[in-house]
Amino acid sequence: MTGRVACGPVRTLVGLTLALIAPLALAACDGNGASEQGQSCAEAIRTAALEIEVDRQLRGLDAALPRCSTYADYLAGLRANPGVVGYSPETYIELRCGNVTEPRLRFSPTCRSAVPPTTPPESAAPLVYSAATLDGRVIELAPSPEVPFAGEVPVVIQETVDIATVQGCRGVLAQRDEYLAQAADDDFASVYAQHAINVAVWIGCDGAQPGATDATTAPTTAG
């Protein structure tokens, strides 16, 4: 089976993956911001960019939101540290602000500009999820019996994130291998396998790329 080829950039999958993982990573953390009292907007983002641990980096970026007096200031801070999110700063801001629920973050100047209150349109556009296959094509997945959705994403995409939270690398790599075995003749399986690889890389799994072997993927002996 095949999906429709999309013309847009290959950023939707990575952006949405981060937006899904970020709330899970932050849920285990306390409420203290990563940046110190008195830091400016730019300094707070720079502090976050220098963090090594993903959860502390995300906490730092969140802590910078209320420190930035405008959307432009926060955007400039991300652009000054291009490695901090790894893709479009505008996309990161839109996705992050669309997922935060804490009032001081959701109603910060940056988030109010990025995700302003809107009135739902009378006829919404069809729900489509754009994602990359293993060979680099971008296809569109729409809700169907073959591709059930959970909210705005395919069920399997959300499932991979849930597996990462509960089972860690071993579970994500097992799911990756399951869909790799089907990917040659199935574009949807190719998308799911590539997404699992992206999640494995994001949470720091050894052997995230197909073909790699290490202690993380080695079988265990019961008892």
Domain boundary among 114, 145, 173: 114
- Please tell me which residue, 119 or 220, carries the higher pLDDT value: 119
Which pLDDT score is estimated for 56?
A: 87
**For 102, what's the count of Cα atoms within 13 Å in the CB-facing half-sphere?**
15
Tally Cβ neighbours within 10 Å of residue 121. Answer: 7
| Total structural domains within the chain | 2
Listed residues 82, 114, 146: the one ending a domain: 114
Q: pLDDT class for 98, splitting at 50, 70, 90? A: confident
For residue 183, being part of any structural domain is answered with: yes
Domain assignment of residue 193, given as a range: 1-26+127-223
Kindly state the average pLDDT of the residues 180-205: 93
Say yes or no: 131 and 221 in one domain: yes
- Per-residue pLDDT averaged across 127-149, rounded? 91
Contact predicate 175/208, CB 8 Å: no
pLDDT for 91: 85
Q: 223, 221, 222, 212: which is closest to 169 by C-alpha? A: 212
| pLDDT value at residue 153 | 87
Spatial neighbors of 200 by CB under 8 A, at least 6 apart, are 164, 169, 172, 173, 176, 208
Tokens 């699992």 correspond to 196
Mean pLDDT of 170-176: 94
Q: Whole-model pTM?
A: 0.45
Domain check: are 36 and 14 in the same one? no
**5-14, 39-48, 111-120, 178-187: which range is least confident on average?**
5-14
Would the pLDDT of 90 be above 70? yes
pLDDT digits (tens, 9 = 90+) for 11-68: 344 444 454 455 444 433 433 333 345 789 999 999 998 988 888 888 899 999 999 9
Domain-ending residue, one of 80, 114, 148: 114
Mean pLDDT (the chain) is 78
Tokens at 133, concatenated: 């296959």
Same domain for 185 and 206, yes or no, is yes
The string of pLDDT tens digits covering residues 64-81 is 999 999 999 999 999 998
User: Residues 76, 104: one domain?
Assistant: yes
Residues 136 and 151 in one domain: yes
Rounded to an integer, the average pLDDT of 176-191 is: 94
Averaged pLDDT, 91-102 = 85
In a domain, 51, yes or no: yes
